[in-house]
Structure 1
Amino acid sequence: MPSTVRTATTADIEACTRVLAEGFADDPVMSAIWPDRRRRHRGVPRYFATSLRHFHLPGGGVQVAIDQHGGLGGVAVWDPPGQWDQPFSRTLRALPELLPALRTRTTAAMAVRRALDEQHPHTPPHWYLANIATPVDRRGQGYAARLIADRLTEAPDTAAYLVCTREKNIRFYEKFGFMVCATFVLPAGANPPMWAMIREP
């Protein structure tokens, strides 16, 4: 069980990247961007490292769950209210690192991003759970639950939003008050459905 939840810093990027890359190696969103499994497993770590450094850590919402021995048990990538829609200037600065990760899949990544953004609510103000992951050997030990519960407890009067990419996880999020508000599919082939979920304040 986690003993501490704290805000991540740039010193945590490498460790967080490992956990996120492991957790999302075969996620439907990542598979839509990189259908080829080998290319996906090469590109995903660089993608997450760049996203953390340029998009998520500056907002101060990324949290990590630490076990009693100081090991990383989980990562939750939250964007604070009003900060989920990244400014073009920030994207431009990230491009030199993003493009080598995406390579020929840049157009596919942009299409996936547009599809996700089209579903994203603009009101009410909300925390956005962009990603959450735990290492394989820590799953089922309460790290993800602790990370979600801590954020929601800190901001009980603010809504929260996420996109659930696997149907089996819907019930997990429902335990925290999230409800499915829309179902949609991503572009680029026969992809499985996604479930937009919101938790009202």
Structure 2
Amino acid sequence: MGVDIRTAGQGDRESVVRLLDEAFQDDPVSGWVFPGEEYRRRTHHRLMAAFTDAVLADGRIDLTEDGAACALWLSVPADGHTGDGPGGDPCDAAGDVPVQVREAVDPGNERIELIARLTDGIHPSGRAHAYLWMIGVAPERQGEGLGTVLIESVLDRCDREGLPAYLEASSARSRVLYERLGFEFTGRALDLPDGPRMWPMWREPQTAVAV
């Protein structure tokens, strides 16, 4: 599948935020963090903006040239999580990041803070890896394989460099997709309080088999 991919910059911020907002409006985890369609429509984009800013600062955003899909990646070192993004140390010298995000997005919504702490608690440590934080595809373009192309472009590099990859699947459907790409469930699911289940998934670097 011929898809042109480039690295997003600051000039792409608004389009990435809009894309993520549209792509995750019906996501089970987004629905848990922002219960109620009207509330989610008014507020959800603020969290997507915080995510985008964090990855623009500390990671990389891959964007299809037509702007229909994007993937947010962070590089996690062997000695712990990186930066002030998701999975960053919640009590680092810069302050309590989950609290800061909640206050910036919607101070009264404790689930914004809680989701950060819960996902941080299940994040593997001890080995450097590529962390696929989010991948979003425009609703009208879903099912075309754009997400797979975006992920495979990074997984190919992980395989060449001998680097594992990690993500949290937010639905049973996405879990199946990631399994096809070589990810395996870590065995420890995250059940959000009165909410959906998330599946942490790990992928060891793969070596091509000669035939």
TM-score normalised by length of structure 1 = 0.86
Aligned runs of 1:1-201 on 2, under 5 Å?
3-53=3-53, 55-66=54-65, 71-82=66-77, 83=82, 85-86=87-88, 88=92, 89=94, 95=100, 99-105=103-109, 107-156=110-159, 157-181=162-186, 182-187=188-193, 189=194, 191-201=195-205
Amino acid paired to 2:153: D
Q: Post-superposition shift, 1:2?
A: 5.2
Q: How many residues align?
A: 191
Q: Post-superposition shift, 1:98?
A: 5.3
Q: Give the Cα–Cα distance (whole angstroms) in 1 for the partners of residues 191 and 102 of structure 2.
A: 24
Q: Post-superposition shift, 1:138?
A: 1.4
* Moved beyond 3 Å, runs of 4+: none
Q: Which has the higher contact order (CA 8 A, sep 6+)?
A: 1
Which range moved further: 37-46 or 80-89? 80-89
Work out whether residues 184 and 195 of structure 1, in 8 Å CA contact, stay in contact via their aligned partners in 2.
yes
Work out whether residues 8 and 60 of structure 1, in 8 Å CA contact, stay in contact via their aligned partners in 2.
no
Amino acid paired to 1:81: V
Query: In angstroms, what is the RMSD of aligned CA positions?
Result: 2.1
SS at 2:181's partner residue?
A: coil
Q: Give the Cα–Cα distance (whole angstroms) in 2 for the partners of residues 81 and 2 of structure 1.
A: 29
**Deviations, residues 1-49 of structure 1 (Å, cap 9, x unaligned):** 5531111111111111111111111222222222122111211112111
Q: Give the Cα–Cα distance (whole angstroms) in 1 for the partners of residues 111 and 137 of structure 2.
A: 27
SS at 2:47's partner residue?
A: helix
Q: Post-superposition shift, 1:124?
A: 2.0
Task: Give structure 1 stretches of 5+ with no counterpart.
Answer: none
Q: Give the Cα–Cα distance (whole angstroms) in 1 for the partners of residues 118 and 43 of structure 2.
A: 20
Work out whether residues 87 and 119 of structure 2, in 8 Å CA contact, stay in contact via their aligned partners in 1.
no
SS at 2:108's partner residue?
A: helix
SS at 1:112's partner residue?
A: helix
Structure number with higher helix proportion: 1
TM-score normalised by length of structure 2 = 0.82
**Deviations, residues 89-117 of structure 1 (Å, cap 9, x unaligned):** 2866x94x753532310x22112211111
Q: Post-superposition shift, 1:127?
A: 0.8
Q: Give the Cα–Cα distance (whole angstroms) in 1 for the partners of residues 22 and 103 of structure 2.
A: 21
Task: Give structure 2 stretches of 5+ with no counterpart.
Answer: 206-211
Q: 1:158 to 1:168 in 2, by over 3 A?
A: same
SS at 1:16's partner residue?
A: helix
Q: Give the Cα–Cα distance (whole angstroms) in 2 for the partners of residues 90 and 57 of structure 1.
A: 20
Identity of aligned residues (%): 28
Q: Give the Cα–Cα distance (whole angstroms) in 2 for the partners of residues 52 and 91 of structure 1.
A: 19
